[in-house]
């Protein structure tokens, strides 16, 4: 339980990126099976919600991204006083590529949930979004 309305987190005992791919196939074949969720995305690291821990975590993620790749940072802050602009700057400077908010290849996702933060380096297609009629 996150204590945040309409936000659910789950831990899986496998690669979270592969899990999302498998779940996408289930949703494609049986869209009624996942009715209440709107968006699901993998998380690579969970760290404490401090600037230093987030910086260290994003340094780890940055090692996986090609040096010339374009990326964007998706930041969602919930129940924190950490400054948005400071966070965006500290995360972005950890990556070797160029920030591009429209034509990007990678997303560095930072999900702050009070005392813990989830970090992920993902491609846009790894975010499973349920379309509603």
Task: Confirm whether 25 is domain-assigned.
Answer: no
Q: What is the CATH number of the domain that holds 48?
A: 3.30.2130.30
Task: Confirm whether 77 is domain-assigned.
Answer: yes
Please give the full DSSP string across 36-49, using - where no structure is assigned: S-SEE----EEEES
Task: Confirm whether 21 is domain-assigned.
Answer: no
68-85: pLDDT as tens digits: 999 999 999 999 999 999
What's the pTM? 0.86
What residue numbers bound the domain in which 80 lies? 42-124
14-25: pLDDT as tens digits: 888 888 888 888
In the chain, how many domains are there? Answer: 1
């Amino acid at each position: 339980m996150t204590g945040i309305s309409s936000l659910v987190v789950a831990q899986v005992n496998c690669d979270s990126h592969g899990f999302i791919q498998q779940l996408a196939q289930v949703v494609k074949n049986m869209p009624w099976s996942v009715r209440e969720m709107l968006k699901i995305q993998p998380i690579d690291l969970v760290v404490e919600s401090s600037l230093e821990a987030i910086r260290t975590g994003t340094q780890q993620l940055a090692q996986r991204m090609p040096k010339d790749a374009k990326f964007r940072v998706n930041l969602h802050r919930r129940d924190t006083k950490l400054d948005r602009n400071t966070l965006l700057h500290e995360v972005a400077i950890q990556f070797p590529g160029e920030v591009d908010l429209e034509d990007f290849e990678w997303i560095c996702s930072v999900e702050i949930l009070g005392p813990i933060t989830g970090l992920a380096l993902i491609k846009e297609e790894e975010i499973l979004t349920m379309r509603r009629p």
